[in-house]
Each structure stands twice: as C-alpha cells, then as structure tokens.
Chain A
C-alpha cells in the first residue's frame, strides 16, 4: 500500500467553545480529487484552512507526504509552499496588477528573481487564457477572471496539492462554467485536489471520492455514484433531498 498524499487523522477544531470539527478522518491519494460536501457550517472551509495551517488544529494530526505538518516546530511557510489554496471570495490583492498578484509569492517567499518569476507567471496566465489581463488591476476583471487569476496565483509555486474552498459560490451563474473548466483541466493534468463545493453536478463529474461532512465528522464517503446516488446515511439522504428540491442536482 502506498502512503497517501494527504492523511487527516481525528482532526478537531473549535471556535470559542463551539465544535466545528469533532474528529475528521480522511485520506487523499496522489492524483485523487476529493469533493467535500455538506451544509453550510459543516466545517468544509475550516478543514481546508486547517490543512493549509491557516488555522491551528485543537486535536488530531495532518500528514502531508508522510510528514506530520501539525507537529510543533513545523514551519508553516515551508508547508504552504507545497500546497495552494483558493478562496470563495478570490482575495486577490486589489492594489497590485494581475502579474504582481501572481509573482508576489515566488518573489518574496521563494526569492525567485523578478524576471524569472514573471516569465513563469506569464506562461501560466497564457495557459489559462489570461495573458492579456497581466497588466490589469483586479477590479477591472470579471468575477470568473478574478477567480482564475487566484487559481494561477496558487499554482505558480507548483504545489502538489490544491485546496479549493467553494470557488464558484461568489460567481454569477454564467461565470461558473469557466472556473469549473479550469478545475477539470487541473484534474486532467493529474493534480491532487480537495474541493469544498455546493455544485453537486460538478462533484459527480470530477470527484474520485465524495465526502459528506456533518456535525464535525465525515459521515459517509465513497465514489460519487454511491454517495450521491445511493447514500446509506439518513442525514446524507436528507441533505441531498434538500439539494434536489432546490434544483441544484
């Protein structure tokens, strides 16, 4: 058996005494795409932020490439360089042009010379059809373009793992497709991903494993056809029924 890319063991996290993650267990194999589903507040975003060490865990451990990154003494800056995270609200830096948004990480954190960083960034922007936006400021771009730039910004340090936190939730419906297209491309390129999403159709399409989070634990996980088609747990069935009733599946 090979070691998983990412292994989450009994992770717990509370905010002001409120338990958001109770005990989460999850393995992600290399090249695997895992979609986290569950109602708002079920802990999807919190879990992703814990994996990126943006939030400290209260219990359990997270192992990346065989290394326990939640151990005391790990340098979070080094860990973060091997994974990328993209947020719901894009979070581009509004005072910087697209090219500077993308190169800031490599230039400051990895000490890549500007010329080299810009060359890499331009290659990636071109790959995602954004090269003509390199000189623009974020507020001149559509939501879809901003989110694609955010994905490029996360990809530029060549991470082995991408964490996507409801990356289409803040977009107008007609812009969702272009962002989902980019994620499909990433999957085709073999990227390992953990995706929190409300797009059930997309999850069915792109996920190798769908994982239903409820009450701070993974209630059920498996291939999308099983979880979305024949859920075993009453809570999962209830959640999916509400999604179907809302016309989202």
Chain B
C-alpha cells in the first residue's frame, strides 16, 4: 500500500516538516507567502500614510528629515564615525582577550587559586555594578587629571579603557557560562592524559566553550558598537559629537539622524548575522542528536 503524504513526512522525520513538504503542502506554502506579502504591504502602507498625513509631519520632517541638512551634516558625521569604528575594533579585541583571561582565572580550581578567584569576582562585581557613563567620566577625566608620571594623559585613551573595563567583565561572564556548559567529563579526561589544569582549560574546555557562546558574544558586539559613542562626553570628536556640534550650530536634528543611520548600518547586519548563526547552530545540533 502506498504511504499517505503524512506518513511520508513522518518517515523523513520532524526536522523536514518545515523546509521541504509534499507538493500539496508546498501549494499551501506558496499561498501562505502571498498572504504574508499582501498583509505586510497593506499594514506598512497604512502606517506610512497615517504618519505622512498627520498634522505634525511637516514639522518633524523639517527638524529631523531635512535633506539639505542631511547632505551637509553627513560627511562631517561620517568623518567622526570612522573614529567610532576604530575605537570599537580596538576595544572589542581587548575585551575578548581580557574577558577570556578573567573567565579562565575564575574557573581555576583548588585552594592555591583562591586569591585569584577573589580578585576576579571582585572585579566583575565592581565593573558590572557601576554605570558605564560614570566609569567613562571617572576614568576619562579623573585619571588624566592626576598627571601620573608614565601614564597616558589622553581622555580618549582612558575612555576606551573604561569601555574595556566594563565590557570585559560582562564578556568574562559570557565565557564563564560557556566554560560551565562543557561537561565535567571533558575536563576529567584532559587531566587523565596528563594535562595541567590550565592546559585542560585552554586546549579542551575553552574551544568548546567559545563555540557555545558565539551568539552571546556577537550580541555584545552590537551593544559595544553603540556604546563607544559614549566617549563623546569626554569631548572626543567621534560621530555623535560631530552630530551634536552640527545641531548646536543649526538647531536642526537631522545630523543626529545621519549618525543614527551610520550606527544602524553597522549594527543591523551584525544583529542579522547573529540570528542567522544562532539558527544554523541550533539546526546543526538537532541534526547531530538524531
């Protein structure tokens, strides 16, 4: 007896129920796509009409979406924005390295490592417990004011240091969740072949841990990419500062929109990539467990 379509699907396993279906179901899928397209166009079209026809729109357009101001402010903001990108890249590398070091230090066992664990826990509590803006002001203005010999005096340097100080603590906790997610037996068999504690962590646990927390790390990327703009309070002429200067001169807010566009251009692709990666990772794990 020939199997019914449902039986055929069941035989291929539940994973295949969504991506590929029998012909009858894919017809339904095509109809579904059409409904989705029509409803999307209608809903967004109505929203657009509603906004553009409202009484407040001309004022909003003049203050926020003014093309002439956009054209004039965009190159200035872009110039400053490159500094944001550079700061982000430098800070991110430092954060990934320091965060991992802190997480590994916190994961070492045995009474000899107690002082190290106390220091890392103290650091993480401190860095996560303080508002980022406070840290930036305190370190960015405070430390240069001390005029310590042999210590950089630039507000920019200490602003980035504050970002790294704060973000590395969060990142250390992300790594630690990853380290804890690797089964104890992996550490045990690494020790059993003669590796030291640190070697076991570095060669066996950490590679698996990092793979488990890549989506969470990417999330941190998106967040940091925006937060670098906070160093503007130190007077650093990055993208947001340039937008602010333009606004102060013209009393028009379009320069902020130009800055917003630039930040979105970087963060949205990273966010989409994170979703794509997380999804792919989940599907691969499902495939492995069947």
Complex contacts, B196 vs chain A, CB 8 Å: 77, 109
Which of A13-21, A90-98, A221-229 is near enough to bind chain B?
Answer: A90-98
Q: Is the CB of B185 within 8 A of A89?
A: yes
Q: How many Å lie between the Cα of A193 and that of B191 in the bound state?
A: 20
Q: Is the CB of A105 within 8 A of B195?
A: yes
Q: Is the CB of A95 within 8 A of B208?
A: yes
Q: Is the CB of A91 within 8 A of B211?
A: no
Contact of B207 among A76, A87, A89, A95 (CB under 8 A): A95
Complex contacts, B290 vs chain A, CB 8 Å: none
Query: A-B pairs with CB below 8 Å: how many?
Result: 60
Q: How many Å lie between the Cα of A100 and that of B186 in the bound state?
A: 15
Would A108 and B203 be within 8 Å (CB), given that A89-B185, A153-B193 are in contact?
yes
Q: Is the CB of A139 within 8 A of B288?
A: yes
A69 within 8 A of B: no
Would A95 and B211 be within 8 Å (CB), given that A81-B194, A109-B199 are in contact?
yes
B23 within 8 A of A: no
The range of chain A's interface size is 20 to 34
Complex contacts, A157 vs chain B, CB 8 Å: 193-194
A104 within 8 A of B: yes
A110 within 8 A of B: yes
Q: How many Å lie between the Cα of A109 and that of B189 in the bound state?
A: 13
B204 within 8 A of A: yes
**B55 smallest CB distance to A (angstroms):** 61
Q: Is the CB of B211 within 8 A of A154?
A: no
Complex contacts, A84 vs chain B, CB 8 Å: 192-193
Measured CB to CB, the nearest residue on chain B to A85 is: B192
Q: How many Å lie between the Cα of A105 and that of B199 in the bound state?
A: 10
Contact of B188 among A54, A95, A105 (CB under 8 A): A54
For the complex of A and B, the 3 pairs showing the least CB-CB separation, nearest first, are: A109-B194, A105-B193, A91-B189
Residue contacts A-B, CB under 8 angstroms, 27 given: A54-B188, A54-B192, A77-B196, A80-B191, A80-B192, A80-B194, A84-B193, A85-B192, A89-B185, A91-B189, A93-B189, A93-B190, A93-B204, A95-B207, A95-B208, A95-B211, A104-B195, A104-B204, A105-B193, A105-B194, A108-B199, A108-B203, A109-B194, A109-B199, A110-B194, A150-B189, A154-B193
